[in-house]
Each structure stands twice: as C-alpha cells, then as structure tokens.
C-alpha cells in the first residue's frame, strides 16, 4: 500500500448520532473495520481480527486510525462557539480518490459551471487574486481573502452577494471552509468536508456544518449542502487520472488553482500519497 | 399543492420537473430522507404506509405513486402532456409509466447502493438496468426513424418525464450511457424543453449557449 505516512492520521468513520450496538462494517484504507458502540453509547472501532483502534468523537463524527496518531484531532475553535447549529449532512459515497474529493472542495473556479445560479453564475466567472500559504507553525494549508460573486451563497442568503471565503486543510483528507455568514456578518460560517478513504479510488464523504442560522429548518440546511455536493459527485467520478497527480508535469495550473498547488505540495512534503499518482503515466 | 420532497430523489424530481414544465406552482416540504430516514417516521407513514416519497397532497387528495402524480399535475395544468386521446397513444403512455418502475428498481437501486450505502446486489441491479436501457434505446431509435424525438409522439408526454430522471442519473450507479446514442439525443431533447429544471447530477445545457467569440453567422457567409 502506498501512503504509509497517512496511516497515523485521524479519519471520519461514521456519525455519532447513528451509532448502533450491533455495529456497522466499513473500510478504512482498504482494511475492513467495524464501528459500533458500547452500553453507554461510546464509540468502538475494531479491525476484523479484533484489534481495537483509537477513537475520538468530535464534530458530529466518530474518528479513527489504523495507526498511532501523534496528535489529537485538529481543533475547529469556531465550531465550539455557542449559538451555532451543528448539521450532520450524512454520508455520500464517491468513486474517486479521497484526495481528489478534498481538492475539488478547495476549488472556486468551477462554481459558475457546476453550481450554476447557486454558488456562481456566468458571466461572473473571474477568480480574483487571493492569498495561499502553508502555515509552518500549524502545518496546515490556508487560503485567505478569497472573494466570489454568488447568486445564493447559503440557504439563508436571499439574492446575490460577494462572498468571502477562507479555506483550511488541517489533515490530508479534511478541509474546513470559512464563509461569509449572511445573518451575522461579523462571524464565519463553518462548512467542512471530512473524507473517509475506503481505498485509493473510493471514498465516503461526510460533510458537516456549524452555522449561525436560527431560521432555516434543519432539513433544508441538510438538503442545501447535499445538493451542492451531489452536483460535484458526477464530476469527481469522471476525473482522469483517477488518482490525484502530484507530478508537476501532469497539469498546467492557473492562478485560480493556487490552493490546489499548495495542497499538492503539502501532501508531497509529508508523503501523504494514499490516493495520489506520483509519476505521470 | 404540497410535495413532500427530497432534493436527491429522482421520483421527487419527476414531480418538480413536471410542475416546472407545465407552469404549476408546488409548495415543497423538505423530507430528511438521508441521513434522518424521516420517510419512515410516524408522520409520513401515516400519509404513505409504503414509506416512500414523493407524496403529493392537494386538499383531501393524497398521491404516493410518481406516475399518478404526473397524471394529476399535467391534467390540472397542461393536459397535452397526457397524449392526444387516441387509444394506442394512451396505452403506450401507460406502457412506459409501468416500464419506469423497472428503471427505478434497477438503475435507482444501483444509484442508492453506490451513493447512499443502500444494501443490494450491485451486479444484478446494473444488469437489470442495462437490459432496460437497451429496450429504451431500441424504442427511441424507432421513434427517430419516424421523426419523433420523444417516447410516444412527436411532442413530450408524461411518459418521457417518468423515464428521464433514472436514465439520466444511471452513471451515479456506475452504469454508463456512452453506448446509447438515441437515449442521449432524447435526453438532450428533454433538457432543451422550455422551463426545464435541473437536479444534482443532471446538468442544464450549458453547451447550447451562444458562442462567446461570435462566429460569423450563416447569412454573412452566404453574402460573400
């Protein structure tokens, strides 16, 4: 298996709200695992040969690892703020590399074409300059000062606004998006993409949100995010090569792809290569 | 008229699409189908013991089968979608409405399996889906030989709307549409209809927008 460095990372393996005592079988990096809970509802994750795996319950999800995580799961301090609605969006399976799912989440340029009249619209297709860095202290990829015109930026938005975004990649298959919060302009909405790598070319995607929105019914919030993600799914399943190319010879990025370039560079630096293509074929 | 709706459900999309194409206004009531399984909760089971969506409620009338919903919406707003009244036309429409249940079971089953973890025999589901697609391809090819772009006549009927969503979403379940040129032309004809709306996985026709670089029009070419 490629990508040994990724063994020691945390991955989402289920919703806390849907834990069952009888357990659920799933895959983590090609290995069969069982996610269940004990008599007091605490999550248990085991391998098929009965080995107990590390478990963390946070951000609505059960997290586990086939290896030994050196650090606790990353923090999302904003998600702890009181008054936020926490939204379990549910799982969607995608026949694509887990890294490709994250990379697509980081891309803004596709909004007018894939999420037409929602997250973007022609002719407002230009991606203005934004700032990208690999923050050495936190060892995370950050994109800031991202601005984009959106006809319906969120379920709570009525009419077009220029939305501001920040993207953050704290783990190889997780990304957090901070986004203008229409009902509360001084705060950021938190929208995450947690990806469970089933194999190098198959993943379960668990979007999750922490929003300031007291008006919209929970089901509408879930449907909005599922609609967005399902518009991406058919695109993701048709990307070629199936694995994320880390060889700079494969593709010619443009300025709008700076976040993707930094993400790939960061993956390569850490040998986070489960789901990646290292040499152009 | 209230539609118990789920944005990712092709059955609910049939009702939304039919209403959009006929200019009928629906009140949408979102159902937490996934991950909440609200369709199997007490409120919705009381409306529809089968535990499925869509459900259409209009006063005392409760409809829980998507074919019946298509008949009702078009009957109210645009009866031309019900065919021309000829016995053969009516019967062929019914034939396709029943056929659409096979698409739901096969291609729809494969899609739920691949996307939302629904248990099932994926190989058998795909095989049944391919059998249905081949039948549809043959029928649409015959229609084109008659210069008719739609399933039953030269104009769209509820038969087209009943079959379109699960066919268009076949790739979601890992069934490619590459091998079916008549189906692809038919899908293009449906997507070109005035008032067409999309759903996740079914995109609008971006490619039919005018060329932004303004190619010389054919009349200019003729003047030369």
B75 and B94 in a single domain? The answer is no
Q: Which pLDDT band holds residue A160 (cuts at 50, 70, 90)?
A: confident
Tell me the pLDDT tens digit for each residue of A48-81.
Answer: 999 999 999 999 999 999 999 999 999 999 999 9
B100 and B185 in a single domain? The answer is yes
Q: Is the pLDDT of residue A213 over 50?
A: yes
Question: Among candidates B4, B154, B165, B152, which has minimal Cα distance to B69?
Answer: B4
pLDDT at B204: 85
B65 and B131 in a single domain? The answer is no
pLDDT at A182: 81
Q: Which helix (H) or strand (E) holds A61?
A: strand A61-64
Torsion of CA B124, B129, B134, B137, to 10 degrees: -170
Tell me the pLDDT tens digit for each residue of A8-45.
Answer: 999 999 999 999 999 999 999 999 999 999 999 999 99
Q: Is the pLDDT of residue A149 over 80?
A: yes
Distance between A187 CA and the closest CA of chain B, angstroms: 27
B66 and B97 in a single domain? The answer is no
B96 and B171 in a single domain? The answer is yes
Domain boundary among B58, B81, B104: B81
Which chain A residues have a beta carbon less than 8 Å from that of B204?
Answer: 116
**ipTM > 0.90, yes or no:** no
B76 and B98 in a single domain? The answer is no
Q: Once rounded to an integer, what is the mean pLDDT over residues A223-237?
A: 94
Which chain B residues have a beta carbon less than 8 Å from that of A115?
Answer: none
Mean pLDDT per 10-residue interval, chain B, length 224 residues = 97 98 97 93 96 97 98 97 95 98 98 94 98 98 97 97 98 96 97 95 75 57 44
In this complex, is the C-beta atom of A56 within 8 Å of any C-beta atom belonging to chain B? no
B73 and B29 in a single domain? The answer is yes
Could you tell me the residue range of the domain that residue B88 belongs to? 83-223
pLDDT at B212: 61
B183 and B113 in a single domain? The answer is yes
B88 and B31 in a single domain? The answer is no
Chain-wide mean pLDDT for chain A? 93
Domain count, chain B: 2
Q: Which pLDDT band holds residue A281 (cuts at 50, 70, 90)?
A: low
Tokens of B108: 């729809």
Better-predicted residue by pLDDT, B207 or A161:
A161
Which chain B residues have a beta carbon less than 8 Å from that of A114?
Answer: 203
CB A189 within 8 A of CB A218: no
pLDDT at B215: 58
Give the span between the Cα atoms of B116 and B7, in whole angstroms.
14
Distance between A95 CA and the closest CA of chain B, angstroms: 8
Domain boundary among B81, B116, B144: B81
Q: What's the Cα-to-Cα distance from A126 to each of A117, B18, B84, rounded to whole Å? A: 15, 35, 49
Spatial neighbors of A270 by CB under 8 A, at least 6 apart, are A5, A172
B163 and B95 in a single domain? The answer is yes
B77 and B105 in a single domain? The answer is no
Nearest-CB residue to B7 (from A17, A122, A226): A226
pLDDT at A1: 45
Domain boundary among B81, B108, B140: B81
CB contact under 8 A, B32 and A222: yes
pLDDT at A255: 83
pLDDT at B223: 43
B68 and B95 in a single domain? The answer is no
Range of A90-94, A115-119, A252-256, A275-279 with top mean pLDDT: A90-94
* CATH code where residue B93 lies: 1.20.1050.10
Q: Which pLDDT band holds residue A254 (cuts at 50, 70, 90)?
A: confident
pLDDT at B138: 98
* CATH code where residue B61 lies: 3.40.30.10
Q: Which pLDDT band holds residue A157 (cuts at 50, 70, 90)?
A: confident
**pTM across the whole model:** 0.90
């Amino acid at each position: 298996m490629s990508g040994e460095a990724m063994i020691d990372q945390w991955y989402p393996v289920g919703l806390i709200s849907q834990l069952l005592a009888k357990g659920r079988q799933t895959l983590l990096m090609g290995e069969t695992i069982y996610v269940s809970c004990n008599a007091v509802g605490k999550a248990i994750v085991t391998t098929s040969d009965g080995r107990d795996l590390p478990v963390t319950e946070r951000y609505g999800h059960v997290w586990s690892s086939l290896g030994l995580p050196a650090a606790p799961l990353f923090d999302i301090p904003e998600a702890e703020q009181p008054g936020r609605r926490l939204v379990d969006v549910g799982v969607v399976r995608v026949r694509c590399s887990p890294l490709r799912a994250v990379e697509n989440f980081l891309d803004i340029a596709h909004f007018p074409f894939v999420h037409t009249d929602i997250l973007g619209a022609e002719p407002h297709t230009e991606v203005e300059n934004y700032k990208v860095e690999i923050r050495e202290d936190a060892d995370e990829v950050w994109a800031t000062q991202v601005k984009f015109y959106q006809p319906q930026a969120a379920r709570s938005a009525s009419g077009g606004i220029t939305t501001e975004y920040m993207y953050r990649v704290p783990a190889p298959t997780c990304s957090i998006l901070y986004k203008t919060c229409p009902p509360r302009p001084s705060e950021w909405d938190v929208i995450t993409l947690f990806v469970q790598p089933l194999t190098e070319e198959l993943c379960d995607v668990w979007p999750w949100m922490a929003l300031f929105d007291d008006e919209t019914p929970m089901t509408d919030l879930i449907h909005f995010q599922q609609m967005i993600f399902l518009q991406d799914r058919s695109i993701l399943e048709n990307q070629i090569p199936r694995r994320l190319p880390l060889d700079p010879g494969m593709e010619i990025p443009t300025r709008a792809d700076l976040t993707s370039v930094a993400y790939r560079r960061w993956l390569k630096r850490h040998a986070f290569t489960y789901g990646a293509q290292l040499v152009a074929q | 008229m209230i539609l118990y709706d789920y944005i990712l459900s092709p059955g609910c999309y049939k009702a939304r699409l039919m209403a959009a194409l006929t200019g009928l206004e629906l009140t949408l009531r979102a159902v937490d189908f996934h991950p909440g399984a609200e369709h199997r909760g007490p409120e919705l089971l009381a409306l529809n013991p089968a535990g499925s969506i869509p459900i259409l409620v209009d006063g005392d009338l409760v409809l829980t089968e998507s074919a019946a919903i298509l008949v009702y919406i078009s009957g109210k707003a645009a009866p031309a979608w019900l065919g021309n009244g000829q016995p053969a036309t009516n019967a062929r429409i019914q034939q396709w409405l029943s056929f659409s249940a096979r698409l739901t079971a096969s291609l729809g089953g494969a899609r739920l399996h691949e996307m939302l973890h629904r248990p099932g025999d994926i190989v058998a589901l795909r095989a049944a889906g391919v059998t249905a697609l081949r039948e549809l391809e043959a029928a649409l090819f015959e229609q084109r030989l008659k210069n008719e772009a739609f399933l039953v006549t030269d104009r769209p009927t509820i038969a087209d709307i009943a079959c379109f969503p699960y066919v268009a979403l076949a790739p979601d379940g890992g069934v490619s549409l590459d091998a079916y040129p008549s189906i692809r032309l038919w899908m293009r004809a449906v997507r070109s209809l005035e008032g067409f709306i999309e759903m996740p996985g079914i995109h609008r026709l971006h490619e039919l927008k005018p060329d932004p670089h303004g190619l010389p029009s054919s009349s200019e070419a003729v003047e030369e």
